[in-house]
Structures are given as structure tokens and as C-alpha cells.
Amino acid sequence: GAVVSQHPSRVICKSGTSVKIECRSLDFQATTMFWYRQFPKQSLMLMATSNEGSKATYEQGVEKDKFLINHASLTLSTLTVTSAHPEDSSFYICSARDLGAGLGYGYTFGSGTRLTVV
Amino acid sequence: GENVEQHPSTLSVQEGDSAVIKCTYSDSASNYFPWYKQELGKRPQLIIDIRSNVGEKKDQRIAVTLNKTAKHFSLHITETQPEDSAVYFCAASEGNTDKLIFGTGTRLQVFP
């Protein structure tokens, strides 16, 4: 089945530094990738939608300059948390849509990245 | 945009009993409703989904029902087992887009 590889799984960084998270679709082409953020014991909050070759679309309240998203190819999307602060500590998870899937199908989630900013 | 509400937030049942989790959505144009099971620190796993042209779908011990008029859908788990213990999320597509909007989650505990 479809697999999305997400790295790193865990990262600890100092305040003020930037962290890049990668999601790769291993055996399919992902036209669209979604980035979610999940605080402990809470739901997955959609942050942004990225389409290959175009600018990401951010949800209301998400700072685009803070969370840089790049979707340069059909198999790779990256999320960079810039100038990270402790409040950015969270579980970040991506979801990719299979190019060949019809609407509503083909969502595959990455394994998530636990970001801790100290 | 889409708003998805989920109840209850926690649910404790005895092994063998049934569990029901309910969700409501706001966007009448939503057409896809998946349910996910998430264990601590892991990715969400799709357990069942339903599209708007279907009222009910069943897969062994798991079933989902959809009431488009009332804009609510429910997950039914029968003959629960301790390994069913996890957090369950409903989701709904936002209108006719690819976006999935998640409910607030239900922590299910099945006691042996």
C-alpha cells in the first residue's frame, strides 16, 4: 500500500533555531500534501495544504512566515519551523493524497515528528 | 469552513460491550467521512470511511452510519476488545475539497 515516510521522528532544538521536517511519498505521486499539528491529547489541526509546484495554502491563524512549506516535487514536501519557540513544541504530521485516487480516497499519513523546543 | 464536533470525549466500556461515537458536521457540501484510530505517538490509522451517497457501511465489528439531513455520522464498534482502546477521530471533507477536518477525538477504554 501507499507509504509516506516522515523524518525526523523526534527533534529537540533550541529557541530561535529552525527545524525542517520532510515527508516523502515512497511508492506514489502525491499531488497534494497536508500538514497537521497536534497538541497532547488534542485533535489534528490542519495547518496548510501544499500542492506540487505552487504556493501552499495556509489555514486561518497559521503564520506562513513561521511555517514554511515547500512542495518541490510530486514525492517530497517539507515543513520548516522558523525561529522556533517553546510554544511551537508539538506533534507535526503530514498526509499525502495519491495522484490516482478519487476525491475522498488515498489519504496516507506520515509517522509524525515530535518537536520539542527548549 | 467545515466544523466537526465529536462526542463523547471519553468512553469506557466493558469488554464485549458496544461503543458508539457520534460526530456532527456543518458543511452540507461535505462528501467524505473517515474514521481514524490513533495510538499514543503514532499516526492515525483509517478504520472505516463512508461517502455521502451511502447511509451505512459495515466492516466486521465496525460500522458507520451517516445522516446527511441531520449532518451527523456515527461509529459503532461491537464486541469491543481491550485492543480497541485508543483515541478515535472522525473527520469530514471540507466541502468539495481534498481537505479533511478532524473532530476533537474520543478516548475509548475497554476494560477486560
Taking CA atoms, B59 is separated from A88, B17, B36, in Å, by 39, 17, 14
* Cα→Cα distances A102→A5, A22, A69, Å: 22, 25, 24
Query: Which among B1, B41, B100 has the least Cβ separation from residue A107?
Result: B100
What are the pLDDT digits (tens) for A29-66? 888 899 999 998 899 999 999 988 888 999 999 999 99
Closest CA to B33 of B97, B104, B91, B74: B91
Contact A107 B104 (CB under 8 A): no
Per the CB < 8 A criterion, the answer to whether B66 and B50 are in contact is yes
Nearest to B99 among A34, A93, A111 (CB): A34
Reported as a pLDDT band with limits 50, 70 and 90, residue A104 is very low
pLDDT 10s digits, B22-48: 999 999 999 899 999 999 989 999 999
- Outline where chain B has alpha helix (H): none
**What is the rounded average pLDDT for all residues in chain B?**
94
Q: What is the pLDDT of residue B37?
A: 97
**Do B96 and A103 make contact, defined as CB atoms within 8 angstroms?**
yes
Residues B46-66 have a mean pLDDT of 93
User: Is a pLDDT exceeding 80 seen at residue A1?
Assistant: no
Angle at B11 between CA B37 and CA B79, to 5 degrees: 70
Cα end-to-end span (Å), chain A? 37
Contacts of A101 in chain B (CB under 8 A): none
Grid coordinates belonging to B77: 464498534
Distance CA B11, CA B7 (A): 9
Question: How high is the pLDDT of residue A99?
Answer: 63
Average per-residue pLDDT in chain A? 91
